[in-house]
Chain A
Amino acid sequence: MVNLIRPTLVLLALLTFVTGIAYPLLVTAIGQTAMADQANGSLVMRDGKPIGSRLLGQTFTSPKYFWGRPSATSPMPNNAASSSGANLGPTNPALKDAVAGRIEVLQKADPSNQQAVPIDLVTTSASGLDPDISEAAARYQNNRIAAARSLTAAQVAAVIDANREGALFGFLGEPRVNVLRANLALDALAAPATP
């Protein structure tokens, strides 16, 4: 037993140095030199200042923007310092109430819209930071945004088309729209869009 103590301590120390210091620092060096944008969070800049990350959802509540997935993070939704899902089970009455409440908010903002609501727009994401909505969820909001911005429905649809992403090789990924990018595209549209 005594002759096992030295290898235990020495190998633990050596392998800790290799895997816990040398390896992560080497990866950091590679990331910061070769792919600094991604390694630092894929931040989106406007007027020289970061306004978010294209990989992280942020909260939109104005009718003139695309709304993202509901988020269960606390204390505020889309808290990028405390990711979390809602973890409501499928039979939990709280899930039914929450979804019913979200449908009500959507319909109040767009009373003329009689379509069934795409499921991802009223259910919480796993991370609470989902940056995307399904293409269906974007199309569902088309007319509300057009009305709020005095645009034609076709102009908003064109923004969705331009920001739609599909599946890589036909099977990797789902039809989706990045909410932050689409909203920046809306803001970048011609004059009537800006208040």
Chain B
Amino acid sequence: MTGQAFLLLAAFLVLLFVLSWPLGRLLARISDQARPVWSAVERPFYRLAGVDGASGMTWSTYALALLLFNSAGALVVYLLQRVQHLLPLNPQAFPAVSPDSAFNTAVSFVANTNWQGYAGESTMSYLVQMLGLTVQNFLSAATGCAVAFALIRAFAARSSKSIGNFWVDVTRVTLYVLLPLSLIVAVFLISQGVIQNLKPYQEVNTIERVTYDSPKNGVDGQPIKDAKGQPVMESVTRPTQTIAMGPVASQEAIKMLGTNGGGFFNANSAHPYENPTALSNFIQMLSIFLIPAALCFAFGRVVGDMRQGIAVLATMTLIFVALTCVVLWSEQQANPVLATLGTDAAQSATQSGGNMEGKEVRFGISASALFAAITTAASCGAVNAMHDSFLPLGGAATMLLMQLGEVVFGGVGSGLYGMLVFALLAVFVAGLMIGRTPEYLGKKIESYDIKMVSLAILVTPFLVLVGTAVAVMTDAGQAGISNPGAHGFSEVLYALSSAANNNGSAFAGLSANTPFYNILLAIAMWFGRFAIIIPVLAVAGSLAAKKRLEVTPGTMPTHGPLFVVLLIATVLTVGALTYIPALALGPVVEHLQLFAPAASSAGAK
């Protein structure tokens, strides 16, 4: 780790805490449904929708409303893609998206995953990007935040049947938090060079012509094939460059703030039009963690004990810093294979050095590695470097950050409710050890709660491990793998980890835009999202109905360093026990092959 990397990480964390503190106050304020926030703005929405904002919902009604709202959203995104060729704002005249790809994308954006099997600039019209994808960037984040609100209100509630009103939560989060923040970030991003227009793609005459090989077409317009069936190539010279355009900045802002991560362009935040400068990159990184961090403070406020929120935030921060250092260290290494060829990868005053394959010069190693850790710790999934080309341990750390269940900051809302699920498990384990009924924030944790907690924790590993096994054992799954050996297995494991944990980043060499992967990953994303939300809401319903007990000398404190250590141990134990065997087959093997080739090939004999 270089001095610059240390400065960058320190500056990032300090600014994050400074900015998320006041936002936590706002979030706590709007999560309180008993008080109107700005009724002139909200009330028309409720009146038109026929909603009584003052009436609460039981957990099952809340869950049903959430499922209906998200299913309807998915249907809209699917239909928009299927008929985009008939709709306006399609200057490149893209045809309708294929059914399996459109299905995958619709599920992906609604589930706050934003896995992308397609390449944005060669698939989606501006209308679909705005009306379909940007909208779900907002609404999926608002949904996650709503669930977090419901859960933290349940901790604060006393013998209540209601966990709040879903419509009010979604409307308030969208209007008061996501929209204003997005507007500020979008305008800032434009100032850095992110484009925002509705123009067709521009053709410019470049300084030099570019010459490349292209399949030769016959008079019938079909590619000519030689005797072996290979396409005949011809050399083509082109004096121009076609430059993709579009309304990028508006989508980019919410892509980060909502921990969505679905890029306007195929190269995502590595594309200079999405992320043009080191400063835009820094703001994007802050935007990813801003709301997840602020929700910890909001949690502390709502339950009436800020130390509880800080303990959760400290847990997240410690795990994050440890794994970030692994990525920073790993990527600053030279790839030993390339070093033997006569390349210079040493860090110096004139270059960042390190493993530059799949990275951008303006970000270098430190801003690429930090971004990678942030985007996988949060369930964002935007990338400013190609994770597929990371050195094995750097790639393993990003994978592990997802596999921990996206609770290290995690997604908007989902990070907090995911971590609180682990907190319940931690007090349960501690309760077993000391022989007392476990309590958290004055709520007795009973058999029903722990069953729901177990369900929420076990859904994702099931999806990841079974999904990976299915993919590597079938021809259709193997067909997508692009890199040979252990790395090819890592590509599949990464894809399933990313989808089931609603991250959305990829080892992008995997050719995932096939019916097999589109459907497999859509299933992982949908259940990875909603099969956790439903048990979490059930826990909220159960907790809200309980009395809040007073603190006694026998109560285990859940705000001190001891609890932070217990919580870290719980998260790491569950994650490590579940995934170490799979990680050993992928990145660990590859690391040994790369850094100790003689030993590992001897072992193979």
Tell me, yes or no, whether B208 is within 8 Å of chain A by CB.
Answer: yes
Q: How far is the CB of B358 from chain A (nearest CB, A)?
A: 5
Given A40-B199, A55-B273, also A136-B351 (CB < 8 A) = yes
Given A38-B193, A89-B483, A174-B362, CB of A95 within 8 Å of CB of B265? no
Chain A positions within 8 Å of B292 at CB level: none
Known: A99-B341, A120-B356. A78 touches B210 (CB 8 A): yes
Q: Given the known A-B contacts A41-B195, A62-B208, A77-B210, are A118 and B343 also in contact in the complex, defined by CB atoms under 8 Å?
A: yes
Indicate which residue in B48, B213, B391 contacts A10 across the interface (CB closer than 8 Å). B48
Within 8 Å CB of A5, what residues of B?
Answer: 68
CB <8 Å contact, A31 and B249: yes
Choose among B236, B391, B509 the residue that contacts A88 (Cβ–Cβ < 8 A): B509
Distance of A119 Cα from B198 Cα, bound (Å): 38
Q: Are A116 and B483 in contact (CB under 8 A)?
A: no
Interface residues contributed by chain B, number (CB under 8 Å): 138
Does A75 count as interface, using CB distance less than 8 angstroms? yes
The one of B182, B358, B360, B590 in contact with A87, judged by C-beta atoms closer than 8 angstroms, is B358
Known contacts A99-B341, A116-B344; A126 and B69 CB within 8 A of each other? no
Which residues of chain B are within 8 angstroms of A15 by Cβ–Cβ distance? 135, 138-139, 170-171, 174
Pair B386/A126 contact, Cβ less than 8 Å: yes
**B205 on the interface (CB 8 Å rule)?**
yes
Report A-chain residues with C-beta under 8 Å of the C-beta of B281: 172
A118 CB to closest chain B CB (Å) equals 5
Contact with A along B125-147 (1 / 0, CB 8 A): 00000111011011100000000
Q: Is B352 an interface residue (CB 8 A)?
A: yes
Q: Chain A, 117-136, contact with B by CB distance < 8 Å: what is the 0/1 string?
A: 11110111111111111111
Contact of A76 among B72, B212, B368 (CB under 8 A): B212
Which of B183-191, B398-406, B423-431, B540-548 sits within the interface? B183-191
A137 shortest CB reach to chain B, Å: 7
Which residue among B187, B270, B348, B482 has the maximum number of chain A CB atoms within 10 Å of its CB?
B270
Chain B residues whose CB sits within 8 angstroms of the CB of A194 once the complex forms: none
Evaluate contact between A118 and B361: CB separation under 8 angstroms.
no
- Given the contacts A115-B344, A172-B279, A95 and B357 also touching, CB distance less than 8 Å: yes
- A96 touching B195 by the CB < 8 A rule? no
Q: Which residues of B contact A184 (CB under 8 A)?
A: 207
Interface centre among B119, B130, B349, B389 (most CB of A within 10 A): B389
The answer, among A1, A14, A170, for a CB contact under 8 Å with B49, is A14
Q: Kindly list chain B residues whose C-beta atoms are within 8 Å of the C-beta of A86.
A: 357-358, 386, 389
A58 at the interface (CB under 8 A from B): yes
A80 touches B242 (CB 8 A): yes
The reply to whether A118 and B179 contact each other, CB–CB distance below 8 Å, is no
Most chain B CB inside 10 Å of its own CB: which residue of A82, A96, A115? A82
Q: How far is the CB of B506 from chain A (nearest CB, A)?
A: 9
Query: Which residues does chain B contribute within 8 Å of A27, judged by CB atoms?
Result: 183, 186-187, 190, 196, 247, 249-250, 253
* Contact with A103, one of B73, B211, B343 (Cβ below 8 angstroms): B343
Question: B160: CB under 8 A from chain A?
Answer: no
Of the listed residues A35, A42, A81, the one surrounded by the most CB atoms of chain B closer than 10 A to its CB is A81
Q: Is the CB of B242 within 8 A of A79?
A: yes
Q: Which residues of A contact B241 (CB under 8 A)?
A: 52, 56, 58, 78-80
Q: Which of A1, A58, A134, A183 has the most CB of B within 10 A?
A: A134
Within B295-343, which residues are at the interface with A (CB < 8 Å)?
A: 334-335, 337-338, 341-343
- Give bound CA distance, A24 to B127, whole Å: 11
Q: Which residues of A contact B265 (CB under 8 A)?
A: 83, 127
Do B361 and A91 have beta carbons less than 8 Å apart?
Answer: no
Complex Cα spacing A43 to B195, Å: 11
Closest chain-A Cβ to B451's Cβ sits at a distance in Å of 26
Asked if B214 contacts A8 (CB within 8 A), the reply is no
| Least distance between B401 CB and chain A CB atoms (Å) | 19
Q: Is B484 located at the chain interface by the 8 A CB criterion? A: yes
Q: A24-B130, A175-B350 are in contact. Are A40 and B195 (CB under 8 A)?
A: yes
Interface string of A56-89 (1 = CB under 8 A from B): 1011111001000100000111111111111111
Interface status of A155 (Cβ within 8 A of chain B): no
What is the distance, in angstroms, from A132's C-beta to the closest C-beta of chain B? 4
Q: Could you tell me if A99 and B343 are in contact, using CB atoms closer than 8 angstroms?
A: yes
Set of chain B residues within 8 Å of A173, measured between Cβ atoms: 277-279, 362-364, 367
Known: A8-B65, A81-B242, A137-B351. A51 touches B206 (CB 8 A): yes
Q: Contact: A11 with B193, CB < 8 Å?
A: no
A164 closest partner in B (C-beta): B350
- Residue A191 at the chain B interface, CB threshold 8 Å: no
Q: How far is the CA of A176 from the CA of B272 in the complex (A)?
A: 15
Among candidates B121, B186, B386, residue contacting A81 with C-beta atoms closer than 8 Å: B121
CB distance from A39 to the nearest CB of B (A): 5
For the complex, what is the distance from the CA of A128 to the CA of B267, rounded to whole Å?
A: 8
Residue of A7, A38, A135 with highest tally of chain B CB at under 10 A: A7
B556-605 contacts to A, CB under 8 A, are: 590, 593-594
**Is B270 touching A133 in the complex (CB atoms < 8 A)?**
no
- B420 at interface by CB-CB < 8 Å: no
List residues 19-61 of chain A with CB under 8 A from any CB of chain B.
19-21, 23-24, 26-28, 30-32, 34-35, 38-43, 49-53, 55-56, 58-61
Contact A84/B267 with A18-B174, A49-B205, A90-B390 known, Cβ cut-off 8 Å: yes
How far is the CB of B306 from the nearest CB of chain A, in Å?
31
Q: Judging by beta carbons under 8 Å apart, are A119 and B212 in contact?
A: no
Cross-interface CB contact of A38 among B132, B190, B334, B390, cutoff 8 Å: B190
Interface of A toward B, CB cutoff 8 Å: 1, 3-12, 14-16, 18-21, 23-24, 26-28, 30-32, 34-35, 38-43, 49-53, 55-56, 58-62, 65, 69, 75-93, 95-96, 99-100, 103, 115-120, 122-137, 139, 167-168, 170-176, 180, 183-184, 187
Q: Please give 10 more A-B residue pairs, beta carbons under 8 A apart, in addition to A59-B206, A82-B122.
A: A27-B249, A34-B187, A35-B191, A39-B195, A61-B208, A90-B594, A116-B344, A119-B355, A132-B360, A184-B207
Interface residues of B (CB under 8 A from A): 4, 7-8, 11, 45, 48-51, 61, 64-65, 68-69, 72-73, 76, 119, 121-122, 130-132, 134-135, 137-139, 167, 170-171, 174-175, 178-179, 182-183, 186-187, 190-199, 201-202, 204-208, 210-214, 236, 238, 241-245, 247, 249-251, 253-254, 265-267, 270-273, 276-279, 281-282, 334-335, 337-338, 341-345, 348-364, 366-368, 383-386, 388-392, 482-487, 490, 507-509, 590, 593-594
**Between-chain CB contacts (< 8 Å), 18 pairs:** A10-B49, A11-B45, A15-B170, A19-B174, A20-B131, A23-B183, A30-B187, A32-B196, A55-B276, A56-B241, A81-B121, A85-B267, A89-B507, A119-B354, A126-B386, A131-B362, A168-B278, A171-B7
